[in-house]
Structure 1
Amino acid sequence: MTWKGKDMDTSKRNLYCNLAALCLLAVVLYLFDQYGTEYQIRILNNMAVFITLAVSYNLVNGMCGLLHLGPNAFITIGAYTSALLTMSPMEKQMSFIIEPLIWPFSVLQAPFFVSLIAGGVMATIFAFIISFPVFRVRGDYLAIVTLGFGEVIRVLCNALQGVTNGPLGLKGLQPYTNLWWSWGIAVFTIIVITKLVNSSYGRAMKAIREDEIAAKAMGVDPFRHLMLAFLVSAFFCGVAGGLMAHLITTISPTLFTFFLTFNLLIIIVVGGLGSTTGAVIGAALFAWGGEALRVVESPMNFGAFTIPGIPGMRMVLFSVILMVVIIFARRGIMGRNEFSWNWLFTKLGLNAK
């Protein structure tokens, strides 16, 4: 068999494996949707939303090597935009009791999918506006600028009564986010980001991460490629914000503090900066592990011994686990490696010689 024939067979096999994995995921989601408890479904929804956020956030921080600390701003914009569009005019009139909602949001109402796209587009518009001052600096200064933007958006959400309802927030949103929406968008995000990273644009982003001056000397335009990554990341953060809003059904400025960005930073560092697979693993472990550790906050009986529940012990153990991972896997669980079917079949000894 020629090398060309082997490559075609490998591509076909990988395609079939991808389709089989998607079918398996659909079966698992169907079983949980039909027979799972509300608690289990909530964890799975949280996991999918964090996967979308982590994969898109990793595009800027991991693939491009920029210390971007403002994803909470784009999540906020997406959440409020999506929430305002799905609420009916009557619901808006009842919610905005201190100051009426401004036009045209006061009369607009859109389906859930349209509101998600609108949230992503609105976040992308804001990302485009701030990208010009943001990419004039690098390193710690870029981190400070993006961190400041996140705080500005949060403060504006508190101050703009006629847009966000201020500190009161928005309540009574329809719980549109379900397993199919959350995981469908998570899978779509992974596919888009993976295709982008493996394209010529992705290779240019990695070149900028390694040595921006050398990449520029080879004809790569840093501003153009970094802006592309920034806008794509902002779009998916905005969409995830809409999913989060309709999962929690109540949003306020206190929900979108820097702590949300800090959690995302933990996820991509533990998973491996620059690895989409690592971002997925980190998000899944964060969403599931945070709930699994709640058992240590409840009283536990060991025969003659009883350990009382200690509030906050869950976060202590979580911090210890985080330190252990960072000490023994300094580049994260995956480093910059990615999962591939070729790797799996090689490990299983099933690759053709």
Structure 2
Amino acid sequence: MKKKNTILTGLAVLLLLIYLIYANKNYDSYKIRVLNLCAIYAVLGLSMNLINGFTGLFSLGHAGFMAVGAYTTALLTMTPQSKEATFFLVPIVEPLAKIQLPFFVALIIGGLLSAMVAFLIGAPTLRLKGDYLAIATLGCSEIIRIVFTQTQNITNGPTGLKSIPNTTNLWWSFGMMVFTILIMVALINSSYGKVFKAIRDDEIAAESMGINLFKHKVLSFVIGAFFAGVGGGLLGNLLGTINPNMFRFTLTFNVLLIIVLGGMGSITGTVISSFIVTAGLEYLRFLDESINLGFIKMEGVAGIRMVVFSTLLMIVVIFFRNGLMGNKEFSWDGFLSLFKRKPFEKKGVQG
């Protein structure tokens, strides 16, 4: 059974590689960017689901961790000439002016700095619960954004960074997505994952069993922030330009929407939802423009795509109250059983 699952997983990865090769050769830049965004939001969704879905912490500070990762990766990958041209009002601090690192190294450093910031935030705030924790983490996220706006000689202030190398491509984004999925699956299936779920289900019972609540909450918070920083770094080097206004609460809300729609506590649901939400928002843009059907012409209304998309989300939430997957995960046995069922087969009735 284990060998069969390994073979099927290997075939799935091979099909993904073939698809990425085909997409790189045949898709235009717009479609490739949408695919990159889908994979990046999958990384961000998984990182937030670890904190909110699996550990049960109501955190709204994700945009701040993304900002740390994005700015760190951008500053460490920009050329000295680009930094000199970008920081024309106030010169960049000397150590950063000459530093240029490979993208992967910069990405990991961005994730580690995000994790460090999360530890500094989590140490005092994770003793709070529920709405109080949400308000505290949201406030910390806004503090990070304001600090980045004011530190002109490091982040270039409200102007932001430009001429960031467009290093992020399908291989980087989907590679990091697969890596994040593997780490999350291994973590959730480990003893630490069982502790996270125990804290989510009942903190009092978990503490009575000898679980150190604070230690494991901080651990979940820091790991989630690391991958949020990595996702932020991928996003910054995909867009080529970033500024503090990108990392407002709206960005956290978009990631929260993905994990709620996919299912709090479901890795599979988060990945599926990230593709649905990201691609859906992009491909509904035609609703904002004029539509000519030949026999009738409808003028576009700015923002109508958000109305339609929100309506579709409401319908999905009404029929799937726990999200698309709930807390279930994809399994090859369950997938193959769909093809083995006989027509009109009912439970308890032999075909």
TM-score between the two structures when normalised by the length of structure 2:
0.95
1:243-264 CA deviation, whole Å, 9 max, x = no partner? Answer: 1111000000011111000001
The residue aligned with 2:153 is: 162
CA distance in 2, matches of 1:154, 1:248: 18
| SS of the residue 2:292 aligns to | strand
Asked whether 1:90 is paired with 2:91, we answer: no
CA distance in 1, matches of 2:338, 2:312: 28
Asked whether 1:38 is paired with 2:1, we answer: no
Asked whether 1:276 is paired with 2:276, we answer: no
The residue aligned with 2:298 is: 307
CA distance in 2, matches of 1:198, 1:307: 52
After superposing the two structures, state which structure 1 stretch, 185-194 or 319-328, moved more. 319-328
1:169-207 CA deviation, whole Å, 9 max, x = no partner? Answer: 000111100000000000000110111011111011001
Deviation at 1:306, TM superposition (A): 1.6
| Counterpart among 327, 330, 338 of residue 347 in structure 1 | 338
After superposition, where does 1:1-353 map in structure 2 within 5 Å?
10-349=1-340
CA distance in 1, matches of 2:189, 2:173: 24
Deviation at 1:104, TM superposition (A): 1.7
The residue aligned with 2:347 is: none
Q: Which amino acid aligns with 1:334?
A: M
CA distance in 2, matches of 1:124, 1:165: 23
CA distance in 1, matches of 2:193, 2:51: 11
Deviation at 1:337, TM superposition (A): 0.7
CA distance in 2, matches of 1:50, 1:240: 7
Deviation at 1:298, TM superposition (A): 2.2
| SS of the residue 2:297 aligns to | strand
CA distance in 2, matches of 1:321, 1:281: 16
| SS of the residue 1:228 aligns to | helix
Deviation at 1:300, TM superposition (A): 2.1
Size of the aligned set, in residue pairs, is 341
Identity of aligned residues (%): 47
CA distance in 2, matches of 1:135, 1:255: 26
| SS of the residue 2:200 aligns to | helix
Q: Which amino acid aligns with 1:48?
A: A
Deviation at 1:135, TM superposition (A): 1.1
Q: Which amino acid aligns with 1:250?
A: T
CA distance in 1, matches of 2:88, 2:293: 54
CA distance in 2, matches of 1:102, 1:144: 33
4+ runs deviating over 6 angstroms: none
TM-score between the two structures when normalised by the length of structure 1:
0.95
After superposing the two structures, state which structure 1 stretch, 18-27 or 305-314, moved more. 305-314
1:14-66 CA deviation, whole Å, 9 max, x = no partner? Answer: 11111111110000000001111111101100101000000111000000111
Unaligned runs of 5+ in 1: 1-9
Deviation at 1:120, TM superposition (A): 0.4
Deviation at 1:229, TM superposition (A): 1.1
| SS of the residue 2:90 aligns to | coil
Q: Which amino acid aligns with 1:104?
A: P
CA distance in 2, matches of 1:108, 1:340: 45
CA distance in 2, matches of 1:233, 1:315: 28
| SS of the residue 2:98 aligns to | coil
| SS of the residue 1:106 aligns to | helix
RMSD of aligned Cα (Å):
1.1
Deviation at 1:108, TM superposition (A): 1.2
| SS of the residue 1:266 aligns to | helix
CA distance in 1, matches of 2:178, 2:142: 30
CA distance in 2, matches of 1:341, 1:211: 31
Q: Which amino acid aligns with 1:181?
A: W
CA distance in 1, matches of 2:223, 2:337: 34
Deviation at 1:303, TM superposition (A): 4.2
After superposing the two structures, state which structure 1 stretch, 184-193 or 301-310, moved more. 301-310
Q: Which amino acid aligns with 2:90?
A: E
Deviation at 1:224, TM superposition (A): 1.7
| SS of the residue 2:124 aligns to | helix
After superposing the two structures, state which structure 1 stretch, 260-269 or 306-315, moved more. 306-315
| SS of the residue 2:284 aligns to | helix
